[in-house]
Amino acid sequence: MKSAYSKIASSVGRPDIAAQMVTWYDEGKNVFESLNEYLGKDTSLATYLDIYRNHQPEIALSEGVEEVLNGLKNKGVILGLVTDGRSNSQRNKIKALGLERWFEERNIIISEEFGSEKTDKRNFTYFMEKYPGRSYCYVGDNTQKDFLAPNGLGWNTVCLLDDGRNIHKQDFNLEGSKLPKKCINDIRQLV
């Protein structure tokens, strides 16, 4: 999100406004309408959305992620990725992060391509059918939707606790079926 806002801010000649866009988001405002109002512009929201969805993100893996993914792959763990969102945006993120090094194409589930939402059990039964008789673990950070489906299928579920950078705030005052079975503070604790 921050990468997209930076790209949009630069496209309107105001790279300094990107932080304000994040503030508008945090305040629950329509960021693009707020941007137009602030700049006195009438740029279509579709124009901003196009930049948001199609920009090449400037993002990097968090500390420890590469180490954990290498370790898991070297141990023979089959890695899968389930991600919510539009195909183009998610593919751009996957490419920017170099995730193809660890996740085979056939083990990447993007909701728009798969015809589902992240909470759909089909995203997870796909792996169970493809790799039967295994133990399954799902790692996520969005308590609103990440754990319900895999919990319902008997998976181990692990929540990476927010270190202040999550877009979605974590809420642990939810019904048990939505809560992870374990929580970790650092991705390296997963191993």
**Would you say 91 and 109 are in contact if contact means Cβ atoms under 8 Å apart?**
no
pLDDT at 167 over 80: no
User: Which of 30, 2, 33 lies closest to 18, judged by CA?
Assistant: 2
pLDDT in tens, 105-116: 999 999 999 888
- For the question of whether the overall pTM of this predicted structure is more than 0.85, the answer is no
Q: CA 47: distance to chain centroid?
A: 23
Structure tokens at 6: 């930076």
As a whole number of angstroms, the distance between CA 134 and CA 39 comes to 55
pLDDT in tens, 139-161: 999 999 999 999 999 999 999 99
Structure tokens at 163: 């270190």
**Would you say 147 and 178 are in contact if contact means Cβ atoms under 8 Å apart?**
yes
Band of pLDDT at residue 162, cut at 50, 70 and 90: confident
Bridge pairing between strands 81-83 and 108-110: parallel
Identify the sign of the CA torsion 122, 124, 130, 132. Answer: negative
Q: Which domains does the chain have, with CATH numbers?
A: 2-54 (no CATH), 65-190 (3.40.50.1000)
**How much of the chain, in percent, has pLDDT values that exceed 90?**
82
Residue 130 has a pLDDT of 97
As a whole number of angstroms, the distance between CA 67 and CA 181 comes to 23
Band of pLDDT at residue 45, cut at 50, 70 and 90: very high
Residue 66 has a pLDDT of 97
pLDDT at 101 over 90: yes
